[in-house]
Chains A and B, each alone.
Chain A
Amino acid sequence: MAAESGKIDPMHQFEVQTIWDGFNIAGHQIAFTNSALWMCIAALVLWAFMLGGMKRAVVPGRWQMLVENFTGFIDSMLAQNIGKEGRAYLPYIFSLFMFILFANVLGLLPLGLVGIHPFTFTSHFTVTGVLAILSFSIVLIVGFWKHGLKFFSLFVPHGTPLWLIWLIPAIEFVSFMVRPFSLGLRLFVAMIAGHILLKVLAGFVINAGNAGIIPGLGVGIPSFALMVGISALEILVAGIQAYVFALLTSLYINDAEHLH
């Protein structure tokens, strides 16, 4: 890919760079990297955002209103998908949604203009995979905790004809086991695709500009216009993917809570 776009490598933005060598746990080097830095930034910005909602005023100000909108959004989503038991999962789903949302949006900020290069850690399947496994583990734990071995009846949906009883559970089992992969990969792919597209188009603008005034204007301006549109789309995707992750997790938890 590096060869196609000259000196500009669109994958460079995903490289994890060590900031501090860190320490060693059980033979693994735990370095503080740009990825870790942006995780910390996302967590801190989220904390600061929530701090604005802690005034607990009866008549909320704008910031408190915004925070309450987010909490109310996730709360009503859980109430719709899980029911009254959904409140128990609110801290986890809300943390998940907000953490992913802030990571996605912070990764999109044009801070490269002032020399700070944002790192979108949700474009690493290591990260999205861990979050997906976390969600999947909660589903398994809740399912077996509440229903014991009856949880396996999830693989036999209501109305399964008796003569298909050998096939449907197998299909259901596969679809169930695919869930963590689809959950993690969806977010990872959505984020990486948008970022690569933006970088490739930015490379077009720079390379065309270097090639002279005619290709610079002929290729550069349409590419730049496309970048503006795709940036808007990426902001949308950042929100939608965080929402999808939280929504699917809540749907899976609903399966575990209520079987089918």
Chain B
Amino acid sequence: MPQISQLAETFASQLFWLLVTFGFVFFVVGKMMLPRVISTVDARDQSVAGDLAAAEAARAAADQAEENWRAEENAAREGAQKRIAEARAQGNAAAAQRLAAAHAETDARIAAAEAQIAAATAAASDEIEAVAADAARDIVARFSGAEVTAAEAQNAVKAALNG
């Protein structure tokens, strides 16, 4: 085994060159190059994490804005519905009022017209009675020559008309 048989003669040389080469690796690769690679990776990780955090914040803001908008819209819709209901109630009330007024007016006109009709009917029947009484006096005067007073003729007519 050369590792043992050559140990005495090669030990110093192996140790020396190992320290030289490993020293080079440690100081140049480990101490100078490695930190730069690590810092590059760290910087990248940090920027990615920062971007992700910013995206998360933007998403939260968007969610918040949507929430606000939704609340606003709900409020607006509620307000609109309230106003619609109010307007409808107002309209209904006004219509009822106008209907009632119109009703009253028509009732009054109907009553007036009926009164007029009744008056006209009464006047007409009075006239008919008067005419009939005159006619009856004339007829009596012509047939019998008897003079009948207006009141008698009228009574006789009333009795004949009313049965």
Chain A interface residues (CB < 8 Å from chain B): 11-12, 14-16, 22, 25, 28-33, 35-36, 39-40, 42-43, 46-47, 50-51, 53-54, 56-58, 67-68, 71-72, 75, 90-92, 94-95, 98-99, 121, 123-127, 130-131, 134, 188, 192
Contacts and interface: CB of A to CB of B under 8 A. Distances in A.
B34 A14 contact: no
B2 A58 contact: no
A14 B21 CA distance: 19
Nearest to B44: A58
A126 B14 contact: yes
Q: Is the interface of B mostly helix, strand, loop or mixed?
A: helix
Contact of B37 (A43, A67, A95, A130): A67
Interface residues of B, number: 37
B40 A43 contact: no
Given A47-B29, A123-B3, A29 B13 contact: yes
B29 A72 contact: no
A243 to B, nearest CB: 17
B82 interface: no
Contacts, number: 137
B21 A40 contact: yes
B10 interface: yes
Interface of B: 1-3, 6-7, 9-22, 24-26, 28-31, 33-38, 40-41, 43-44, 47
Contact of A94 (B2, B19, B22, B34): B34
B14 A35 contact: yes
B40 A68 contact: yes
B14 to A, nearest CB: 5
A129 to B, nearest CB: 10
A254 B46 CA distance: 27
B22 A95 contact: yes
Contacts of A131: 18, 22
A43 B3 contact: no
Given A32-B13, A71-B41, A91-B34, 14 more contacts: A16-B6, A25-B16, A30-B13, A31-B10, A32-B17, A36-B16, A40-B21, A47-B24, A47-B29, A58-B43, A71-B34, A126-B7, A130-B15, A130-B18
Contacts of B37: 50, 53-54, 56, 67-68, 71
Contacts of B1: 11, 14
A90 B18 contact: no
A94 B22 CA distance: 12
Contacts of A14: 1-3
Q: Taking chain A's interface residues, is the majority helix, strand, or loop, or is none over half, making it mixed?
A: helix
Contacts of A56: 36-37, 40
Given A14-B2, A91-B31, A22 B41 contact: no
9 pairs of A and B residues whose beta carbons are closest in the complex: A91-B30, A28-B12, A36-B17, A95-B30, A39-B21, A43-B21, A15-B2, A95-B26, A50-B33
A107 B155 CA distance: 160
Contacts of B15: 126, 130
Contacts of B16: 25, 30, 36
A124 B3 contact: yes
Contacts of A127: 14, 18
Interface centre among A51, A71, A72, A123 (most CB of B within 10 A): A71
Nearest to A134: B22
A77 to B, nearest CB: 14
A58 B47 contact: yes
B2 A72 contact: no
A25 B10 CA distance: 13
Contacts of A121: 14, 18
